[in-house]
C-alpha cells in the first residue's frame, strides 16, 4: 500500500490477539504499522511484533524490490514495534539503526546478546537526509515511554507519529475511529496529557498533510478533527456534554437507582450512558468517563469499603489524572454506609472535581431517595 509515491506501508494485521498489553480487549485485532521510505537512501520506520517477524520482513523485502535498506529508524521500543529489530539487523547487517540515547539503552536491555550493527544516535530536532526526503526528529518523552520520538518528513509533509493517533483494531476492521482511538489513548497514554500537549505544540509548527501512526489507519483527510480530539483528550477537556452512570450492584437495588437516574436524565434531554462495572469492558467505561462532562458513581458498601469493581474503576481514573469533571455519588449501605466516604477519599487525587449532592440508600429505594434522584438529575442537566 503506497502512502505517497515514495512511502510504502509494510505493517501487519494481528487477528490472533485477544488482549492488547495483556489487559485491553481487542475483538477486532490490532495493526502493527511500519513504513518504508524509498529515496536515494532507504529508511524503514519501526518493526513489528515478534509473532509477525517473518510476515513483516516479507513485506519489507517486497517494498524494497531488490534494494537494500540504509536505515532502520526506531521511534518506540515497546516490543509490539521493536521486537523484530534483531531479525532485521541479522538480515540487513549493513543497515544503520537510528535512535536516541534512551533508544539504544533499551535496545541493549531487550537484546541481551547484543547486535553488531551500525548505530546513529540523533538529538531532538536533528535531521537525516535520504535525498529528496529530509527527516526531522522530535522527541516525545513519556508519550508514552521515555525514549519515544516522532519523525517528520519535510518532503511529503508526513508525520510518523509513533503511538500517537493510534487506535485498537486491525486495518481491515470497520469501526468508528474515535471510539477505539479514545479507548486506546485514554487507557494507554491518558496519564501523560501534559506530555501530549507539549508534542501537539511542537507539531503545530509543522505543515502536516498525512499522519502515519504505529497502530490504526493512516490519516490524511480532515486532520483538524483528529488534532482537536487529541487536544481535548490530552487537556482533560470533555468531548461530550453528558453523564456516565457507572455502578456496581449486589442484589439489584443500587442498579435500580442507577437505571432510574439514567432514565430521568434522558427524559430531561441529558445524554446518559450507563455501565455495569462488573460486566462491561473496564477500558470502555474509563474512556467514557474521560469523554463525558459528568460522572455518577453508584456502589454498595462492601466489607467497610466499596465493591471491588468500583474501587478498580476509580483507581483507573485517578491513575490517568482524571480531572475537570462534575461528580455525584450514590451509595447503598444497609446498616453502616461507607461507600461515599471511601469514594471521596479515592478521588482526592483528582484535580478540579465539582461534587453535587448525591443519594444515600439504606437497602432499597425510599420515597425520599426517589425525590433525591429527581433533584440529582436536575443538578446534572
pLDDT band at 116 (very low <50, low <70, confident <90, very high): confident
Fold of the domain built from segment(s) 240-379: Rossmann fold (3.40.50)
Element (H, E) at 344: helix 339-346
Rg of the chain taking only CA atoms, in angstroms:
24
The three-state secondary structure class of 160 is strand
How far apart, in whole angstroms, are the C-alpha atoms of residue 177 and residue 229?
11
Predicted pLDDT at 120: 98
C-alpha cell at 73: 529508524
pLDDT digits (tens, 9 = 90+) for 131-173: 999 999 999 999 999 999 999 999 999 999 999 999 999 999 9
Residue appearing with cell numbers 505543515: 207
109 to 77, 122, 294: CA distances (angstroms): 11, 19, 43
How far apart, in whole angstroms, are the C-alpha atoms of residue 378 and residue 381?
5
Instruction: Encode burial over 272-311: b for 16+ CB neighbours within 10 A, e otherwise.
Output: bbbbbbeeeebbbbbbbbbbbbbbbbbbbbbeeebbebbb
How far apart, in whole angstroms, are the C-alpha atoms of residue 251 and residue 222?
48
Predicted pLDDT at 1: 86
Domain extents for the chain? 7-234, 240-379
Is residue 238 a contact partner of residue 325, using CB atoms and an 8 Å limit?
yes
Helices 223-234 & 177-184 angle (0-180, nearest 10): 30
The CATH class of 7-234 is alpha beta
What pairs with residue 295 in β-bridges?
Answer: 244, 327
pLDDT band at 23 (very low <50, low <70, confident <90, very high): very high
- Strands, E assignment, 277-322: 292-302, 305-306
On average, the pLDDT of the chain sits at: 96
pLDDT digits (tens, 9 = 90+) for 242-283: 999 999 999 999 999 999 999 999 999 999 999 999 999 999
pLDDT digits (tens, 9 = 90+) for 298-350: 999 999 999 999 999 999 999 999 999 999 999 999 888 999 999 999 999 99
Amino acid at each position: 500500500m503506497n502512502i505517497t509515491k515514495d512511502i510504502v506501508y509494510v505493517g501487519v494485521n494481528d487477528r490472533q490477539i485477544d488482549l492488547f498489553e495483556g489487559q485491553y480487549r481487542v475483538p477486532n485485532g490490532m495493526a502493527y504499522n511500519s513504513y518504508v521510505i524509498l529515496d536515494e537512501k532507504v529508511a524503514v520506520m519501526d518493526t513489528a511484533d515478534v509473532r509477525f517477524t517473518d510476515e513483516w520482513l516479507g513485506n519489507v523485502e517486497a517494498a524494497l524490490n531488490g534494494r537494500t535498506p540504509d536505515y532502520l529508524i526506531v521511534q518506540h521500543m515497546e516490543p509490539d514495534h521493536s521486537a523484530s529489530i534483531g531479525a532485521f539487523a541479522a538480515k540487513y547487517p549493513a543497515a544503520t539503526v537510528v535512535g536516541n540515547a534512551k533508544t539504544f539503552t533499551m535496545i541493549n536491555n531487550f537484546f541481551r546478546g547484543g547486535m553488531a550493527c551500525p548505530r546513529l544516535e540523533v538529538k531532538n530536532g536533528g535531521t537525516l537526509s535520504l535525498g529528496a526526503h529530509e527527516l526531522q526528529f522530535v522527541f516525545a518523552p513519556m508519550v508514552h515511554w521515555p525514549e519515544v520520538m516522532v519523525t517528520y518528513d519535510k518532503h511529503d509533509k508526513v508525520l510518523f507519529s509513533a503511538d500517537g493517533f493510534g487506535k485498537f483494531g486491525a486495518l481491515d476492521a470497520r469501526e468508528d475511529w474515535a471510539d477505539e482511538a479514545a479507548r486506546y489513548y485514554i487507557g494507554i497514554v491518558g496519564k501523560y496529557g501534559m506530555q501530549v500537549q507539549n508534542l501537539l505544540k511542537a507539531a503545530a509548527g509543522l505543515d502536516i498533510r498525512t499522519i502515519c501512526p504505529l497502530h490504526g489507519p493512516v490519516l490524511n483527510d480532515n486532520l483538524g478533527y483528529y488534532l482537536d480530539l487529541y487536544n481535548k483528550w490530552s487537556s482533560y477537556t470533555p468531548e461530550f456534554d453528558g453523564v456516565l452512570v457507572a455502578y456496581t450492584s449486589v442484589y439489584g437495588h443500587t442498579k435500580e437507582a442507577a437505571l432510574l437516574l439514567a432514565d430521568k436524565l434522558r427524559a430531561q434531554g441529558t445524554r446518559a450512558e450507563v455501565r455495569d462495572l462488573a460486566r462491561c469492558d473496564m477500558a470502555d467505561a474509563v474512556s467514557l468517563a474521560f469523554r463525558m462532562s459528568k460522572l455518577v458513581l453508584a456502589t454498595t458498601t462492601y466489607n467497610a469499603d466499596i465493591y471491588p469493581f468500583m474501587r478498580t474503576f476509580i483507581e483507573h481514573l485517578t491513575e490517568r489524572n482524571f480531572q475537570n469533571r462534575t461528580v455525584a455519588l450514590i451509595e447503598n449501605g444497609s446498616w453502616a454506609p461507607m461507600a461515599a466516604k471511601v469514594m471521596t477519599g479515592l478521588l482526592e487525587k483528582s484535580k478540579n472535581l465539582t461534587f453535587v449532592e448525591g443519594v444515600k440508600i439504606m437497602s432499597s429505594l425510599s420515597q425520599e431517595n426517589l425525590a433525591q434522584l429527581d433533584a440529582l438529575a436536575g443538578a446534572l442537566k
